[in-house]
Structure 1
Amino acid sequence: MTGFPPLPGAILDGDVVAHFGDPVREQRGLEGGDALAPLADRTVIELTGSDRLTWLDSITSQSVARLRAGDSTELLVLDPQGRVEHVAAVFDDGASTWLIADAADAEPLAAWLKRMVFRADVTVAVRPELAVAGFFAGGAAEQRAERAAHAPQGVPVVWTDPWPAVQPGGHQYHEGEHPGTDYHWRTVVLDADAAAALAADASVVWAGALAAEALRIAAWRPRWAAEVDERSLPHETDWIRTAVHLNKGCYRGQETVAKVHNLGHPPRRIVALHLDGSESVLPASGAAVVARSADGTAEDEVGHITSAARHHELGPIALAILSRRAPVGDLVVRTPDGDVAAAQEIIVPADAGATADVPRLTRLSRRPSAPDPRDAL
């Protein structure tokens, strides 16, 4: 694992620790704030230079120009059509801006940032020697992480996920209570010595990626590695609530963001699925989601699974991206082991967007005719 020495009892899936023998227990420990999750599938990028914040503000979806030391946020890099290309957690320590990205996206993101520097006083550096771990606030893990965190400026590099609340300039499409309000996730950056010390400490409680992903999915929290594809718009996953500032200046893709939010509807929408657990089948990412007619004689593929997990309380759950016109009732997920029934919970409604109060002009053909002056005679 990048940045972490081998951890006792770790069961690996490639370079990532999937679990430590008991994913359900690990979920409870992580959720309760007692456990740390090694995140080998995250990579750190460091930005330095006096222009780093104003420059980053001008090219991404988030307002970051006035970040202070210790502030956290997140941003998206969009293509000219407003589609999501890159995603990063953002933390500033007063001298450096730290970006934490999914590992597969880190090098492409850093390469794009370097191409955008031009004459700005900014240096972009990927820092693969730094380790990343995740935890929930309010417990022993937070205290341990604060002590161990990389802090070259005296400010511990600990990113606070903004997901629990709609951020300034953001907008939430979900209507009603949001499970993300309880998702108090943190990510700590560690140097090699701190990571080795944690790995050698027998008192540290660890949790694997299966536990972390289950809690993320339950909070409806999108992730680049799972919910983003070549068509993704930020509106589709309710990402505008934390990663897009609707009132800041122009940036690449901003016109599409504004048009869809103010005048249109996103073509797809994310939903939460509660899966039938009787067959113990968990669908893989990409599994087709199907709507059946009331009499069961017709089927229509309406989307696909992006993430799935077994939650310690909710059972098997998933996030899926569906067509905006997909029905709002129960669905079916197609797997190699058979179809799985799925109860749908709306995150982004089909009528999301079109928030601008645009006055409707009366068509000329429907305007009342002017009174004839002769009628007054």
Structure 2
Amino acid sequence: MQSVNSAASQALRSFADTLWCEQRAMGGVLPDEEADVPETYRFCCPPVVHFGNLQQEYQAARSGAVLFDFSDRTQIEITGQDRQPFLHNFCTNNIKRLECGESCEAFVTSAKGRILAHIFAFVGADSLWIETTPGRAEALLAHLDRYIIRADVQLYDRTGDYGELFFTGPETVRKLAAINLLPKALDVHQHSTIQRATPWLAVRRVDLLGQPGVFLVTTRAQLGAVWKELIAAGAYPGGAAAFHACRIEAGFPLYGLDLSDDNLAQEAARTETAISFTKGCYLGQEPIARIDTLGHVNRKLCALRLTSKPVPGLGDVVLSEQGREVGVITSSALVPGEDRPIALGLLRTSHTGPATEVRVRIGDIQIGASVCCSGRA
């Protein structure tokens, strides 16, 4: 059967929608309304840069609970009797082993082991959902649809119908439980649904930033109401500046920004969480297994801490202490309350060891930087 690509996914955001109205009323600032916004902050999600107190947004993420607008992220539903083994055949992680209510992180790869998408897969009773970076539905559906021959599989782009919020921080689980939005004590990679007076709400535990985190997915018409309910329960609204600072500190890449189809799966530095070497055959498995046997890739994504401003731009060159080009910056941010930028960069493997000293060329100047342990800034 052929895939169904929802036309509604072409226009996800209107400045008149209820979610935007809620955010605007709270002081939400868009990238074009702010001077000297780092390029990374313009990457779709969250669309608001900040809500007027960036340091408090960041502190809420680290010591309380912060709510990010992820409504631009791609949502795909897969149905049919063969849905789980079908997706298993195109992902780096073991989809077949997942029970209903479980999930995993994975890469969808080409036959050459290059990354076509960085996804989270959620197995439900009647369908399987894929969540990934904004704007990926058309390409991902086309790729998967190419391999549907006799399998009982249907693919649907649900991005125009459903949206997502990301609630994260040490207090996330407690605050959700207090307002009955946590049906049970969800462990990492578990998810459930809540049937409420308002429509269906999916609650998906994903510790994206190395701390408790939950994706909340509901109809687009209800996103504003859910946002308002969580803010009333003590969530602090967060924008792109706080999110990218936390994301880069955690070493978490975004496809389309830090990664592309030019990257091999192991270059993303997500091998432990997103790649299974025991699952058996899948598209791209041979080159990925060969790299594992040989020991390493030639370049790898890692986090950097710069010694001072300015914030590097995307594509700025990373140099060794001897002045040789060893990589490029893929995303960058300022940690609120600090004057030192942080960044993710794709570097030669020889220069990705913890505390390795490098320099970042920003225009006519060079700023010192050090590689952070385990990819975390």
Report the counterpart of residue 135 of structure 2 in structure 1.
Answer: 104
CA distance in 1, matches of 2:142, 2:324: 40
The 8 Å contact of residues 259 and 268 in structure 2, kept in 1 or not, is answered as: no
CA distance in 2, matches of 1:313, 1:69: 43
The 8 Å contact of residues 89 and 159 in structure 1, kept in 2 or not, is answered as: no
Deviation (angstroms), 1:141 = 5.2
CA distance in 2, matches of 1:287, 1:271: 15
Shift in alpha-carbon separation, 1:119–1:269, aligned structure 2, 3 A: same
Match of 1:146 among 172, 181, 196: 181
- 1:282 correspondence with 2:311: yes
Report the counterpart of residue 184 of structure 1 in structure 2.
Answer: 212
The 8 Å contact of residues 302 and 352 in structure 2, kept in 1 or not, is answered as: no
Report the counterpart of residue 333 of structure 1 in structure 2.
Answer: 360
The 8 Å contact of residues 332 and 340 in structure 1, kept in 2 or not, is answered as: yes
Instruction: Identify unmatched segments of 5+ residues in structure 1.
Output: 164-179, 294-298, 349-377
> Which secondary structure state, in structure 1, belongs to the residue aligned with residue 319 of structure 2?
strand
Deviation (angstroms), 1:153 = 7.7
Report the counterpart of residue 301 of structure 1 in structure 2.
Answer: 325
Which deviates further from its counterpart, 135-144 or 304-313? 135-144
What amino acid is the match of 2:30?
Answer: L
Shift in alpha-carbon separation, 1:145–1:243, aligned structure 2, 3 A: farther
The 8 Å contact of residues 270 and 346 in structure 1, kept in 2 or not, is answered as: no
- 1:157 correspondence with 2:202: yes
The 8 Å contact of residues 109 and 284 in structure 2, kept in 1 or not, is answered as: yes
Q: How many residues align?
A: 324
The 8 Å contact of residues 151 and 157 in structure 1, kept in 2 or not, is answered as: yes
The 8 Å contact of residues 192 and 204 in structure 2, kept in 1 or not, is answered as: no
Correspondence list, 1:25-174, <5 A: 25-127=56-158, 128-136=160-168, 138-139=171-172, 142-143=176-177, 146=181, 151=193, 156-161=201-206
Shift in alpha-carbon separation, 1:150–1:193, aligned structure 2, 3 A: farther
CA distance in 1, matches of 2:352, 2:91: 34
Deviation (angstroms), 1:337 = 6.5
Show CA shifts across 1:105-144 (max 9, x none): 2321122122222221111111122111112254365446
Report the counterpart of residue 316 of structure 1 in structure 2.
Answer: 341
The 8 Å contact of residues 93 and 153 in structure 1, kept in 2 or not, is answered as: no
> Which secondary structure state, in structure 2, belongs to the residue aligned with residue 224 of structure 1?
coil
CA distance in 2, matches of 1:123, 1:252: 19
Instruction: Identify unmatched segments of 5+ residues in structure 2.
Output: 1-11, 32-41, 184-190
Shift in alpha-carbon separation, 1:145–1:93, aligned structure 2, 3 A: farther
Shift in alpha-carbon separation, 1:119–1:285, aligned structure 2, 3 A: same
Deviation (angstroms), 1:210 = 1.6
- Over aligned residues, Cα RMSD in angstroms? 2.8
The 8 Å contact of residues 244 and 333 in structure 2, kept in 1 or not, is answered as: yes
Name the TM-score, length of structure 2 as normaliser. 0.77
What amino acid is the match of 2:361?
Answer: R
Task: Tell me which structure has the larger Cα radius of gyration.
Answer: 1
Report the counterpart of residue 173 of structure 1 in structure 2.
Answer: none
Shift in alpha-carbon separation, 1:99–1:219, aligned structure 2, 3 A: same
Deviation (angstroms), 1:235 = 1.7
The 8 Å contact of residues 289 and 301 in structure 1, kept in 2 or not, is answered as: yes
What amino acid is the match of 1:10?
Answer: G
CA distance in 2, matches of 1:42, 1:141: 24
> Which secondary structure state, in structure 2, belongs to the residue aligned with residue 225 of structure 1?
coil
Deviation (angstroms), 1:33 = 4.2
The 8 Å contact of residues 39 and 209 in structure 1, kept in 2 or not, is answered as: no
CA distance in 2, matches of 1:260, 1:25: 43
Deviation (angstroms), 1:200 = 4.7
Report the counterpart of residue 195 of structure 1 in structure 2.
Answer: 223
Show CA shifts across 1:275-308 (max 9, x none): 122xx31112211111232xxxxx2111011121
The 8 Å contact of residues 35 and 141 in structure 1, kept in 2 or not, is answered as: no
> Which secondary structure state, in structure 2, belongs to the residue aligned with residue 214 of structure 1?
helix
Show CA shifts across 1:228-256 (max 9, x none): 13431222232111111110111111011
Name the TM-score, length of structure 1 as normaliser. 0.77
> Which secondary structure state, in structure 2, belongs to the residue aligned with residue 190 of structure 1?
strand
Report the counterpart of residue 207 of structure 1 in structure 2.
Answer: 238
Which deviates further from its counterpart, 13-22 or 142-151? 142-151
CA distance in 2, matches of 1:130, 1:259: 39
Match of 1:249 among 266, 277, 280: 280
Report the counterpart of residue 20 of structure 1 in structure 2.
Answer: 51
Show CA shifts across 1:133-191 (max 9, x none): 1122543654469369994889852333366xxxxxxxxxxxxxxxx7x4333222121
